[in-house]
Amino acid sequence: MSYLKVFSYSINLLAGIATIVIGVLAMDSFSLAVFAFLVWAISPYLFSAFRTKRSTHQVEIMLVTGLSFIIAIGGIFLLIDAIYIHPDAQSALAFVVIPGYQWIMLLIAAMPIYLFNKKYSKRLL
């Protein structure tokens, strides 16, 4: 396994754990709704890990790792900013909004990565 894949998996794992910890510490009570928000909040990291697993070419692995890094750093920074640095009554909405932005970025970036993989795979045949 490539070191970049291990790095990407590590980034996604740490970002997912950090998101869960921030979410559990920020919520007053734990319920099924809170669990659903936490699953939604870590879903971009799960998709990034899935894309890393599906990556086969070195350039594709580099793109997915860079995207994972940007998504993870941005997501954790925005959560910390919304919950701890600038808290207000709507801070908990960060667990809804930030993953939505992350998904938009992931889906926009996934299309060129998919097309690159499709084009490169045809050359090998």
CA 71 – CA 103 distance, rounded (Å) = 9
Instruction: Count structural domains, the chain.
Output: 1
pTM of the model: 0.87
- Give the pLDDT score at 27: 82
DSSP per residue over 28-56, as a string? Answer: SS--HHHHHHHHHHHHHHHHHHHHHHH--
d(CA 121, CA 74): 32
pLDDT reading at 123 higher than 70:
no
Which residue range is the domain that position 114 belongs to? 3-124
Would you state the structure tokens that stand for residue 117, as one six-digit string? 């993989």
Render pLDDT for 9-22 as a digit per residue (tens, 0 to 9). Answer: 999 999 999 999 99
The whole-angstrom separation of Cα 38 and Cα 34 is 6
